[in-house]
Structures are given as C-alpha cells and as structure tokens.
Amino acid sequence: MPDNRTAGRPAAASASSSTAASWSPFSYIVVNLARFIRPGEITFSGVNSTFPMLACLLAKRAYDWDFVYINVAGGVDPEPGHIPLSSSDPVLAEQSASIFANEDFYDLCTRGRMDLTFLGAAQIDGEGNANNSVIGDWHRPKVRLPGGGGGAVMLPTARRACTWRTEHSRRTFVPRLDFRTAAGGFHGVVTPIAVFVKRDGRLALQSWHPESSLEEVRERTGFDFDAAGAGPTAPPTAAEERTLAALDPDGRFEHDANVTLR
C-alpha cells in the first residue's frame, strides 16, 4: 500500500545516482517498452499495466516527436496531475479533451486502426502467443489467472502488440502454453534481461541487458529463438533517464515493481 511503500525504497536512487548512463532492471523495462512507440501512432495502455502506462508517459515527455496516447481511463493525450498506482485510474483522463471509452478502443482495434497496444501475458511461447488464463488444466486449475481480458481480441487485431514480464524464466517463456488465451503473436517483448521482436512469425532476440548475455537469455528461455544481429541494448539516453526520474521522483514505482536482474 502506498503509504508504507513511500517510506522504504532501497532501490530508489539507483537510476539517478549512477554517473554513467546505465540500466536498472526497472528502467530497462519501462524505457524499452517506450522505444516501441512510434511517431504519430495511436498507442494504448490498459488495466494492470503500470509499465506500459509509465512507458507511454515517458515517451510523451522524453522524445522530440508526439503520438496519440489513449488509455483505459478514457484519456486521449491526457496530462495527469499525478502518476497513479492504478493504470486505469481516472486521473489518466485529466486534461483530456474527449473520453474514448472501453467500447471505443476495442472497436478501434478490431477495425484495424490500433497501431500499438500493450497487453499483459503470464506465459509466452516462441510465436509470441499468450496465456493469461490458467496454470495447469483449465478445468482443474493450479492457478487461476486474470483471464482473457484484452489479449484474445486485441493481440490478433492490433497492428502491433507488445508485452513485458518482470520474470524471465522457463516458467514464463515456454515451448508450449498451458492454455492459448490469445494468438496473433507479440511484436515485442521486454524482460529485465532482454528485448525480443517478431521476425518471420517467431520471437527473435533484438538485444540483451548489458549486464546479461546471449548465453543467459538462452538459459532462461524455454523456446528456441534466432539471435542474428542481437547485441547489448543501447544505454538509456539522458532524456530517457531524466524523464523516468521525474515520473518516479521518490522511487515508489521502482520499489513496488521489485524487478531484479536475476
């Protein structure tokens, strides 16, 4: 809960205190999600999506081009007075000149005009399909997960969809999904150690965290992937670092996310 979390934050200053530009596991995910956003495009962030919310707000402030940011609170290019813990908080519609409600952004997506959407995924396979439903058998679940949500309809109909995982392991990057909630294949996936992009219908490694390695990514990924042309991820720019520090001045989001490299 926020009041307690504001008090203790061991990892808070890690990004801003380093002298050379470097990644924290937290900044790595936020900034690399933001780097999937392109000028002028309609880009959506939804529920349960703190990282994409931060990525969209960062891209609005850190880059010298603009895009259309819509979100699940109905906001269209909002200017929220504060950054909420809930990525569906109505503060994300502050200063919005219109309300683009839930039916609107789903219809936009199914008619093929959602350029980029961010969607959660519990398990991801080598084609970038997602399980958000269940660990184990659907009818006898070991773990009941949140469910179909946006993915089943948005993943196959958005022009591009990207996701993130704070855990990079063979539990999350699997050869075979326990249940295929959503097909269509992610365009991009970001973890604390790697950035994947879709190439020829499969997830391919684009880059890895400079403190990780190709070997580590292979070791922690349950499916085979192409790594041609991959190398260490370019460090955060000064604008990216500065903007993220301003979005999370007391380190609350970084502390709550509790992302580690290993």
Partner 1 sequence: METNTASGFKAGGKQVSLAELAALVPDGASISLGGSFLHRGPFALVRELIRQGRRDLELIKQSPGYDVDILCRAGALRRVRAGIVAMEGNFGLAPWYRKAIESGSVQLEEHACASLTAGLRAAAFGVPFQPCGGLHGSRLPELNGWKCLDDPYGGGKPVWVIPPIRPDFAILHASEVDAAGNVRIAGTYHWDRIMSRAAGSVLVTAERVVDDAVFKQAPEATVVPYFMVQAMAIVPQGAWPGSCWPDYAIDYPAVERYLEPGDEALARHLEAAPETREAAHA
Point out which residues bind partner 1 (CB under 8 A): 1-3, 5, 47-48, 50, 72-74, 85-91, 93, 99, 101-103, 106-107, 109-111, 129, 132-133, 138, 141-157, 179-184, 256
Q: How far is CA 57 from CA 51, 54, 143, 177, in A?
A: 10, 5, 33, 32
Considering the complex, state which of residue 62 and residue 83 has its C-beta at the smaller distance from partner 1.
83
Q: For residue 55, what are the contacts with CB-CB under 8 A and spacing of at least 6?
A: 30, 31, 33, 34, 36, 37, 45, 118
CB of 261 to partner 1, least distance (A): 22
Considering the complex, state which of residue 91 and residue 214 has its C-beta at the smaller distance from partner 1.
91
CB of 69 to partner 1, least distance (A): 15
Distance from C-alpha of 245 to C-alpha of 206, rounded to nearest angstrom? 26
Considering the complex, state which of residue 115 and residue 240 has its C-beta at the smaller distance from partner 1.
115
Q: Are 237 and 28 in contact (CB under 8 A)?
A: no
CB of 54 to partner 1, least distance (A): 13
Amino acid at the residue 149: G
Considering the complex, state which of residue 184 and residue 188 has its C-beta at the smaller distance from partner 1.
184
Considering the complex, state which of residue 141 and residue 232 has its C-beta at the smaller distance from partner 1.
141
CB of 241 to partner 1, least distance (A): 24
Tokens 């070991």 belong to 142
CB of 140 to partner 1, least distance (A): 8
Phi, psi for 72 (deg, rounded to 5)? -70, -15
Q: Are 145 and 133 in contact (CB under 8 A)?
A: yes
